[in-house]
């Protein structure tokens, strides 16, 4: 149940000038988070529209699923709250939003770390072989760990939820429980700060390797080698955006540990910056992956012009171990076309 029992406890402590831009921001984050990541899951599962090796694609699918859950449990309730100027979803949903947000958040961080580490393994050891079932076990293990941690912490510390009037979201009472302070600190160190450091160091290493490789090969212009680097560019941008979106939250928590007098603006900024990681991934896939970008464009045109036809759509081959031979054999012209492009 929720600790707040009075009606005023569910009202926002924000001005109209703050609520309107935050509501617009959360609206677009919700649309992009659900539609964008839903398109990633649907197109990659059914049509293999994302040009990545099988292992990276498994991690990308789990990342998209985690972003969808985070959008449902956190971003969408924020949009409703800012639109109504108070929490109107009830005590049960407030409790669920506060507790279940741990699961996609933990999975998101872990999956991004796995993608960057796997890309580093491919760069350092190109002939390394990783089985698909191993990647599925690793990804599934993160989901299990996140669920177990959420359930155990809620039961052991009898976690409830409180509505934060300063940023419009429900948070778990674990953050304010003195008995759970050490557990929360260890959790943040292991599952937030440490992965962030590893992601940053891994991406710096990848960028250095890519820079040295490009310098050694800049005399010879090879389009195929250029295309091999696109996967690396996408992973670096993906991780870079993830680090940039979570960095204000980490800084906010470090400041909050030293002093309780934290400005409301920093609270709002640190919390809502995390949303960029959920909605921005599909945009990066579109910008760095031509095949997926064309699929999205044709899907948008089909929706705009009410295309009700169901053409036979061919499932494109999944690329293995970073090879782009499949793209040379199956061009993007074989993707389903909109009537406007036929």
The CATH number that applies at residue 152 is: 1.20.1070.10
Asked if the structure places residue 166 within a domain, the reply is: yes
Cα(50)–Cα(88) distance, integer angstroms? 39
Residue 2 backbone phi and psi in degrees, to 5? -100, 140
Beta-bridge mates of residue 163: 170
Going from the C-alpha of 305 to that of each of 6, 42, 157, 341, the distances in angstroms are 49, 20, 54, 12
* Domain count for the chain: 1
3-state SS, residue 216: helix
Closest Cα partner for 144 from 62, 245, 239, 34?
62
Asked if the structure places residue 311 within a domain, the reply is: no
Q: Which domain holds residue 25?
A: 16-306
Asked if the structure places residue 250 within a domain, the reply is: yes
Asked if the structure places residue 66 within a domain, the reply is: yes
Asked if the structure places residue 331 within a domain, the reply is: no
Asked if the structure places residue 181 within a domain, the reply is: yes
Identify the pLDDT of residue 339: 38
Identify the pLDDT of residue 88: 92
Identify the pLDDT of residue 167: 83
Beta-bridge mates of residue 319: 53
Identify the pLDDT of residue 306: 64
Asked if the structure places residue 226 within a domain, the reply is: yes
pLDDT < 50: residue spans in the chain: 1-6, 219-225, 308, 310-314, 316, 318-342
Identify the pLDDT of residue 259: 66
Asked if the structure places residue 278 within a domain, the reply is: yes
Identify the pLDDT of residue 152: 87
């Amino acid at each position: 149940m929720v600790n707040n029992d009075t009606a005023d406890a569910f009202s926002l402590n924000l001005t109209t000038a703050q609520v309107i831009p935050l509501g617009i921001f959360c609206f677009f984050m919700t649309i992009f988070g659900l539609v964008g990541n839903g398109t990633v899951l649907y197109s990659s599962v059914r049509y293999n529209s994302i040009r990545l090796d099988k292992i990276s694609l498994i991690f990308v699918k789990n990342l998209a699923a985690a972003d969808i859950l985070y959008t449902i449990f956190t971003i969408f309730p924020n949009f409703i709250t800012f639109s109504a100027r108070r929490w109107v979803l009830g005590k049960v949903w407030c409790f669920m939003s506060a507790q279940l947000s741990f699961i996609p958040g933990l999975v998101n961080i872990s999956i991004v770390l796995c993608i960057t580490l796997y890309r580093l393994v491919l760069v350092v050891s190109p002939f390394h072989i990783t089985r698909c079932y191993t990647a599925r076990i690793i990804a599934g293990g993160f989901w299990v760990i996140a669920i177990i941690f959420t359930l155990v912490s809620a039961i052991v510390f009898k976690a409830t939820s409180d509505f934060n009037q300063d940023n419009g979201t429900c948070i778990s009472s674990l953050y304010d429980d003195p008995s759970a302070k050490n557990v929360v600190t260890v959790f943040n160190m292991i599952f937030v700060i440490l992965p962030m450091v590893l992601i940053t160091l891994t991406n710096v290493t990848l960028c250095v390797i890519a820079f040295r490789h490009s310098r050694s090969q800049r005399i010879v212009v090879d389009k195929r080698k250029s295309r091999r680097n696109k996967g690396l560019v996408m992973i670096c941008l993906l991780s870079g955006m993830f680090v940039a979106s979570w960095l204000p939250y980490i800084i906010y928590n470090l400041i909050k540990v030293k002093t309780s007098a934290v400005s409301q603006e920093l609270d709002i900024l640190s919390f809502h910056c995390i949303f960029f990681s959920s909605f921005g991934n599909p945009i990066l896939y579109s910008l760095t992956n031509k095949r997926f970008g064309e699929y999205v464009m044709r899907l948008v045109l089909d929706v705009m012009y009410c295309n009700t036809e169901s053409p036979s759509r061919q499932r494109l081959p999944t690329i293995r171990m970073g090879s782009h031979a499949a793209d040379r054999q199956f061009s993007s012209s074989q993707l389903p076309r909109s009537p406007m492009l036929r």
